Every structure is written in C-alpha cells, then in structure tokens.
Amino acid sequence: MSNESLDKVFEEAVARVNAHTDPFPADTLLKLYAYYKKATNNYGKPSSKKSIINAFKTNALFQVKDVSEDEAKQAYIDLVNQYFLYRK
C-alpha cells in the first residue's frame, strides 16, 4: 500500500473510531491510543487528571516504541477493522 493510500485509510479508521459512541474495551482503547500517537508522531505526555490512567497510557506508548509510523498506522487500521468486525 502506498503512503498516500495508507494515510487515507488511516484517516478513515480514525474518523470511524471518533464517530463510534459506545465505549471501547480498555485494552483496545489503550492500543488505539498508542498506535495513534506513534502514527501521528505525537509524543506529548499523557494528560489525564488521574495518574493511574497516565501510567497505563505511558506503558502502552512504551510497548510501541520500536514500531515505525507506517507500521503503527497499519496496526491501528487492523485493530479498528477487527473490532468492528467482531463486535456485537
């Protein structure tokens, strides 16, 4: 997949997640968070008011530290597709 089409599919997956109104499972949400941050090269500190949530987010980011931006985009897309395929 070319970079341009990967970016387009990634943006569509992000829009799909943002439009979804039901809560995601916590583990899925953390993976989406980490892949999104890595894919967009946005490494700002987690900004939750709860330190435990920041710790989980930091751990999720640590787990994708060796993933490239393009790999993170593809992983995000795959996770979104899998979630919507198997959800009730």
Instruction: Give residue 40's pLDDT.
Output: 93
As a whole number of angstroms, the distance between CA 49 and CA 40 comes to: 23
Which domain range does residue 10 map to?
3-17+26-86
DSSP state of 4: H
List pLDDT tens digits, range 35-72: 999 999 887 777 778 889 889 988 999 999 999 999 99
DSSP per-residue codes, 54-88: HHHHHHHHHHTTT--HHHHHHHHHHHHHHHHHH--
The pTM is what?
0.89
Report the run of H or E that residue 32 belongs to, with start and end. Answer: helix 26-39
Instruction: Give residue 88's pLDDT.
Output: 54
The total domain count for the chain is: 1
List pLDDT tens digits, range 6-28: 999 999 999 999 999 999 999 99
Domain holding 61: CATH number?
1.20.80.10
As a whole number of angstroms, the distance between CA 15 and CA 78 comes to: 14
As a whole number of angstroms, the distance between CA 87 and CA 8 comes to: 24
